[in-house]
Amino acid sequence: MGREQRSRGRLPADARCYLCGNPILPDEKWDRDHVPPKRVFALAVLQEHSPNLEWLYTHRACNRSYREDEEYFVVSFAGHVKTATATAVMNDIHRGAAKGHLVGLIKDVLSRFGKIIGPTAERTFTWDSARVERALWKIFRGIYALESSTFLPEQWIHPMWLVPPHTDPSTLEGLAWFPAVRDTQPLAKYGAVFDYKWIGLKTSENVRFHAMAMLFWDGLIVATIFHDPTCPCGECRLQHQPVTCS
């Protein structure tokens, strides 16, 4: 029996769901959730490179509650990134659609394309920001849990900036903290599929923050900043902030 099978069949007594923060009880159904989600990798990439994907324990119900939003994010944006890894993901989506998978979702995404603009004749595109943000924040939370073994709640201040393809990434340069994140070393192990960077910040009042940026398929940048959940100041329990899309 391989390592993955053994680990799947045995739940540690102290296992907690990184999505809700609660213990996973012996009689509860549970999953291993990959960070980033396995669906951002094309089947061809998984078969050729066999990446050792990081994962965390979750309640099955908690994990499945994000499935449709994750699918929405991948279908919405993989087609915009004209790189080999993104194209491979779209090839998987097209093959699945031929078998009847995600057809309704694909039609919804296609309906959101608008008029042709710009020097390269790209089309405008709108998306459901709440769904995209929820999927992306889940990945940020997973990264934080993997690196710190600390629960990061879903309802937490996390202004987010998403820079899709055909958009000048210099729009992020106006964020005082982003150049420091950009200039650090990448931390992921997944090459042209997924990468991330992360720095810790502290204000003059000793209030702690984390600033992160993710790169999908070598073409889609997402950045966020959030209060350290272990900081005792209480400022982090302010009203949740919406996603900002550049």
71 CB-near residues (< 8 Å, 6+ apart): 39, 102, 105
Q: Find, among 207, 143, 199, the residue nearest to 176 by Cα.
A: 199
* Whether pLDDT at 8 is above 70: no
What integer pLDDT is reported at residue 6 of this predicted model? 36
SS3 156: coil
Q: What pTM was computed for the model?
A: 0.86
Q: Distance (Å, rounded) from C-alpha 71 to C-alpha 73? A: 5
What integer pLDDT is reported at residue 185 of this predicted model? 94
Q: Which position has the higher pLDDT, 142 or 9? A: 142
Q: Pairing mode, if any, of strands 160-163 and 243-245?
A: parallel
What integer pLDDT is reported at residue 234 of this predicted model? 60
Q: What is the mean pLDDT of residues 223-229?
A: 94
What are the tens digits of pLDDT across the range 143-190? 999 999 999 999 998 999 998 777 777 778 889 999 999 999 999 989
Q: Which of 5-9, 133-137, 232-236 is the most confident on average?
A: 133-137
pLDDT bracket for residue 123 (50, 70, 90): low
Least confidently predicted of 102-111, 132-141, 212-221: 102-111
pLDDT bracket for residue 9 (50, 70, 90): low
What integer pLDDT is reported at residue 10 of this predicted model? 82
Complete edge-to-edge strand list for the sheet that includes strand 220-227:
194-202, 208-216, 220-227, 160-163, 243-245
What integer pLDDT is reported at residue 36 of this predicted model? 96
Q: What is the mean pLDDT of residues 68-85?
A: 89
Name the amino acid, one letter, at 161.
W
pLDDT, the chain, mean: 85
Q: Distance (Å, rounded) from C-alpha 243 to C-alpha 82? A: 24
Domain boundaries, the chain: 3-68, 70-125, 129-245
Backbone angles phi, psi at 215, to 5 degrees: -125, 120
Q: Distance (Å, rounded) from C-alpha 83 to C-alpha 217? A: 7
Q: Find, among 14, 116, 24, 108, the residue nearest to 63 by Cα.
A: 24
